[in-house]
Amino acid sequence: MLHPTIFFISWLVADLVIWIIRWFLLQKFIVSGESRSHYATDLALLFGLIWAVEIGIGTAGCIISVDPVLQVLACTSAVSMNGAIAMRNQGIPRYAFTQILLTDIPMKLATLFQPAPLLRILILQAPMYLTGLWVLLNQLNTNLIKAYIAEFESIHSATHDKLTGALNRLGIVNIVAATLDSTEAQSVETSILYLDLDGFKKINDENGHATGDRVLVSFSNMITGMLRKSDAVARMGGDEFIVFMPDTNEASASLIAERIIEKLRVYTAQNKAYAGLGVSIGIATNTSLTTESLDQLISRADFAMYAAKSAGKNCYKFG
């Protein structure tokens, strides 16, 4: 409005075009399915840099115009945008700093092409200003990473057993809920194995809790190594574990139970201090599992495990 020249009209048009393109790319990025573009993110980053160049050139034009109103508005707006860039892109600090350079350098250089000598102080301020923003960006990035790590560790601690690293009861419930999000998973046969170590108390009492802990960790790792990625192991407390196996019928579950029993037998044979250690396994299956029926399925497997103990231990029974 103050200077309707070709330069400023072109700047307005360019800004609107870039804004529309970036908005369109955002819509392509947030949608799901086939309509989502594979290159939306790359193009959004590219046009973010193009936008920064456009802002830098426009700001430089405002300074060269010698209009004090435009100079004040352009400089304060550019500095404000750089602060927003730092906050918005703290996850990608090098990219953010590149945007800041593209907006800031043209503004500083433009002071050389206007008559007011005091505005060239901006050039002297540039090293300190850019250094400060670089330090700020890296500090923001460090804080963001720490926050994500703390969140992950908090979730992991709440859903996993601290000793063995296996899931706990809450963790296995979450796994079941995530599995059942798939419609197909709700109609397939699911198996639960309830395992209890036989002779563990004797080993724990005779050799100490440190030895008992090593047995539990080794047993947990042993089970995990025998399962598929879709299966899950949880420690229910003490020397009791459960194995959640989606898309597994009784025949497949019994094969896994036999392998666990045999693997533990070989393990105890190689470690004489663990003589007498065995495992009783209860198996329960369900063809329409829900998160509400999970407790019932675990209860059936638990009863079957006690049946295995009554049958002589170191064996498996179906519930």
Residues serving a catalytic function are 239
Q: 150 with 173, same domain?
A: no
CA torsion 188→262→209→167, rounded to 10°?
-20
Looking at 157, 191, 224, the residue that finishes a domain is 157
Q: In terms of domains, do 175 and 143 share one?
A: no
147 and 11 part of one domain: yes
DSSP states along 9-48: HHHHHHHHHHHHHHHHHHHHHH--STTS-TTHHHHHHHHH
Verify that 55 and 115 share a domain, yes or no.
yes
Predicted confidence (pLDDT) at residue 195 exceeds the cutoff of 90? yes
Do 91 and 224 fall into the same domain? Answer: no
pLDDT in tens, 220-231: 999 999 888 889
Span 146-192, pLDDT tens digits: 999 999 888 888 889 989 989 998 888 888 777 766 645 556 788 89
Domain membership of residue 145 (yes or no) is yes
Residue 162 maps to a domain: no
Percentage of residues in the chain having pLDDT higher than 90: 55
Which residue, 124, 157, 190, sits at the end of a domain?
157
Residue 93 in any domain: the answer is yes
Residue type at 95? Y
Q: Are 267 and 222 in contact (CB under 8 A)?
A: yes
- Is residue 1 in a domain? no
E-only strand ranges, the chain: 190-198, 232-237, 240-245, 278-286, 316-318
Helix, strand, coil percentages for the chain (3-state, nearest 5): 70, 10, 20
The total number of structural domains that make up the chain: 2
The pLDDT score that the predictor gives to residue 183 is: 47
Predicted local confidence at residue 153, as pLDDT: 86
User: Does 218 reside within a domain?
Assistant: yes
Question: What average pLDDT score do residues 294-319 get?
Answer: 90
Domain annotation covers residue 289: yes
- Residue among 190, 191, 195 nearest 308 (CA): 195
pLDDT, one tens digit per residue, over 232-258 is: 999 988 899 999 988 888 899 999 999
CATH number where 307 lies: 3.30.70.270
130 and 189, same domain (yes or no): no
The pTM assigned to this predicted structure is 0.65
Are 191 and 118 in the same domain?
Answer: no
The answer to the question of residue 215 being in a domain is yes
Query: Tens digits of per-residue pLDDT, 4-28?
Result: 999 999 999 999 999 999 998 888 7
Q: Are 105 and 129 in a shared domain?
A: yes
Final residue of a domain: which of 157, 189, 218?
157
Shared domain for 185 and 307, answered yes or no, is yes
Which residues of 230-293 form beta strands (DSSP E)? 232-237, 240-245, 278-286
Regarding whether 178 and 109 lie in a shared domain, the answer is no
Q: Give pLDDT tens digits for 112-135.
A: 999 999 999 999 999 999 999 999
Note down the domain range covering 147: 6-157
Same domain, 141 and 175: no
pLDDT at 64 over 80: yes
Output the pLDDT for position 206.
83
Q: Is the pLDDT of residue 62 over 70?
A: yes
Give the per-residue pLDDT at 113. Answer: 94
Whether residue 286 sits in one domain with residue 214? yes
Tokens of 147: 């926050």
For residue 77, is it within any domain? yes
Q: Which token pair is 272?
A: 């004489």
